[in-house]
Amino acid sequence: MSSSSRKAALASIAGRTPTPAGNSFGSIAESFGINTFGIRQMRAKLPKDVFAKLQSAIRLGKKLDQEIAPTVAQAIKEWATSRGATHYTHWFLPQTGMTAEKHDAFLTFDENKSPLEQFSAAQLIQSEPDASSFPSGGLRATWEARGYTAWNPTSPVFIVESGNVSTLCIPSVFIGYNGEALDEMTPLLRSSDVLSEKAIKLLSVIGDKGVQRVGTTLGPEQEYFLIDRTHFALRPDLVMANRTLLGAPPPRGQQLEDHYFGGIPERIQACIAEVEQELYKLGVPIMTRHNEVAPCQFEMAPLFEETDIAVDHNQLVMSVLRRVAMRHGLQAILHEKPFAGVNGSGKHCNWSMSILADNELDGLNLLKPGKTPHQNVRFLLFLAAVLKGVHKHAGVLRAGIGTSGNEHRLGANEAPPAIISVFMGKTLTQLIEDIAGGKQAGKGAAEALISLGVAKLPEIEKDNTDRNRTSPFAFTGNKFEFRAVGASQSIAWPVTILNAAVAEAIEDLTEQLSAELKKTKKVDDAILKVVRAAFRSTGAVRFEGNNYSDAWVKEAAKRGLLNLRRSPEALAQMQTAGAKKLFTSLGILSKEELESRYHVRMERYVKDMLIEMTMQRELIDTMVLPAVYAYQGNLARAAAEARSAGIKEIPQIERANEIGALAKSLKARRDTLSKVTDKAEHMHDDLEGCAQLVTGPGADAMLAAREVCDTLELLVADDAWPLPKYREMLFPV
């Protein structure tokens, strides 16, 4: 790639006209969900009895009744083909962080070999994609190719429109021949079922009967960058590694704080509006869009949904963002840290628990304070369960967000640190400390709560306490915000871990409460005693201050909290006895399934790092050094001409010598990088050793090489530099 390519790109971008935003599909309400087989479509297309049974299965998370499957399949086929769909696919989430699909036509032939459109119950419920090429972490042998996808009816089927093609997508789980979970959704569904089961039992013990299911709700806020696609195409590191491996900081970055919540540029607005239109048709309830802190960084956020659906919808958000951006000559970048020196991107997962019941408890948010003593002790009980779960399994939660991209962001004073802690806010913290300290311990629950000022709890959701953006896990009124999740991640795995940790804690509290009720007659009094013990035991994980500060790192160490800065050491938490017991005892993952997830994520980390190291070496060899040598030669020729002309002071000589010294240093650092890369590529049988190599010497070698490259970028003449610069990518004209 030559400097002329870069200049031509700049010229073409400067002359580009924004694509009109337009609202071609009418009102949001009319278009919302038209490409999903949702409630409206089900009610219109299905017989009443079939509709009722299907809705019951969806609401309670049950399997589809085989008797109604043919009717449901026929209705879905008629609806899909009426909207132009010619093919269908079981759409699932393998352990790649992406989605997968294999398209089959609605086509069969009758006895006369005449073509017919057909879609059977069997085709709806199950498919058989080749499983051998998906990552399994050693869970199955390479030659064992059989795998099955099965419809997850809790998530509605939908139609994806791409170009002139419409495809029916059936959200599914993906399992092996022997039933082993090969995907991200199966463990999530298991964790949801377990949490529901444990929560229902606890509610029953405290006298709350008639609960059919306790589900979790989720609202993931998605951050991302949008840059010109021409710039993206001219940056091999962005194309191959999704982040810039070289690039000097521009004079202006985000220090003026002028981008956050600023006016959205017209071209970007047009792109985001079309993304939203596509998502509305798919039933994704996007509510918010705004500029984020870094230049060219943006965020969109949906309404809360049931977690299983929210996970699928977030995958759609990421895929639609990428697809639609290209129509506008833009590139959506979801990597956690695509540009050094400016804020990276996260995915804040707002999580809560709610009740499905056949009485007045229906729709109750268990993390929302109430107005009566019983409502508030119930709130405190489930709050204690979350604190217990996060405190006990902080290491596994950290493993759930351990990726090569996210470790660039965590602890960088733009995102929470690698230390998992919980922020509760001033009001709740004081209450928790008063309860843990035994204040009013001699009184009954009703009297004690009044004395402790619990009557103020309903005001919490009215924001009577500040938010703490430095906390990785913060209570925000009636939910927790898991802020440490990476922007490019599938949220299925982090939420599976959270569900599991809380489910185990609920089980522990149920046992303690049952034992206490044998000694204490009043239920609320017994609850308060159990809550007091839980608050005392989880004090270390609660922190109200600045998580970015060095003081917190020291304090966290004193408290015995883990500080897992790099991904390999975080992922190792999945190998601990506590992690194995958590998942196996609850039936969420077998020992082998958990082991496979550790290996898949470690392999992915190593591969990501090797791609980055190899790509950086290639950039140095084929772009940076040739440009530097060419410019150094130009300086030498200019100096020679000046000397021939009798000029005594020749600044080109000094600059040529400076650049020559830097080029020599870069060559040496490139050679160091190459040695590490070559060694790592021959360590196939030592995954942990390879991870340590690329995390330590490999990352150090990359940083050392980058420092010289970035210095050279600021010394080489602008028209001689081959790569688009930060100032051009982040501040397009």
Closest to 126 measured CA to CA, from 201, 69, 60: 69
**Nearest residue to 220 (alpha-carbon basis) of 299, 328, 320:** 299
Using CA atoms, how far residue 469 sits from 218, 278, 547, 656, in Å, is 18, 31, 9, 47
φ, ψ at 685 (rounded to 5°): -90, 0
Distance CA 615, CA 626 (A): 16
Cα dihedral 514/517/519/521 (nearest 10): -170
Structure tokens at 238: 């962005």
Which residue positions in the chain have pLDDT lower than 50?
Answer: 22, 143, 462-464
Residue from 235, 252, 480 nearest 335 by CA: 235
> Rounded to the nearest 5°, which phi and psi values hold at 352?
-150, 180
The answer to whether residues 70 and 316 touch, using CB atoms and an 8 Å cutoff, is: no
Q: What is the pLDDT of residue 652?
A: 83
pTM: predicted TM-score of the whole model, two decimal places = 0.93
3 state SS of 249:
coil
Tokens 């239920």 belong to 523
Sequence-separated (6 or more) residues with CB below 8 Å from residue 599: 137, 138, 687
The DSSP element (H or E) to which 169 belongs, if any, is: strand 165-176
Query: Under 8 Å CB-to-CB from 155, ≥6 apart: which residues?
Result: 171, 308, 309, 312
**Phi/psi of residue 312, nearest 5 degrees:** -60, -45
Q: Which residue has the tokens 């000559």?
A: 329
For the record, the structure tokens of 544 come out as 């109200």
What are the distances in angstroms from CA 21 to CA 245, 287, 485?
33, 17, 31
Write out the H or E segment, with its range, that includes residue 594. helix 591-619
Other residues' Cβ atoms within 10 Å of the Cβ of residue 278: 23
User: Within 285-405, where are the H helices?
Assistant: 307-327, 373-392, 394-399
Q: How many CA atoms lie within 13 A of 104 on its CB side?
A: 18
Q: Cβ(235)–Cβ(364) under 8 Å? A: no
Do residues 216 and 307 lie in contact, with contact meaning Cβ atoms separated by under 8 Å? Answer: yes
H-type alpha helices, 462-590 = 492-516, 523-537, 550-559, 567-571, 577-585
Structural domains in the chain, sorted by start: 32-183 (3.10.20.70), 191-589 (3.30.590.10), 604-730 (1.20.120.1560)
Radius of gyration of the chain (CA): 28
Give which of 508, 531, 552 is closest to 431, Cα–Cα: 531
Classified as helix, coil or strand, 137 is coil
Pairing mode, if any, of strands 165-176 and 87-91?
parallel
CB 314 within 8 Å of CB 482:
no
Cα–Cα dist 668/661, whole Å: 11
pLDDT of residue 153: 87
Q: What is the DSSP letter of 304?
A: P
Note whether 392 and 518 are within 8 A (CB).
no
pLDDT at 632: 94
CB 306 within 8 A of CB 213: no
What pLDDT does 313 receive? 97
Would you state the pLDDT for residue 118? 84
CA dist 638 → 624, 653, 711 (Å): 21, 9, 22
CB atoms closer than 10 angstroms to residue 381:
24
Question: In this predicted model, what pLDDT tens digit does every residue of 67-111 receive, in sequence order?
Answer: 888 999 999 999 999 999 999 999 999 988 889 888 989 988 878
What are the pLDDT digits (tens) for 489-547? 999 999 999 999 999 999 999 999 999 999 988 998 899 999 999 999 999 999 999 99
Question: Parallel, antiparallel, or unpaired: how do β-strands 211-228 and 286-291 relate?
Answer: unpaired
d(CA 639, CA 64): 81
514-519: list long-range contacts, CB under 8 Å, 24+ apart.
514/205, 517/205
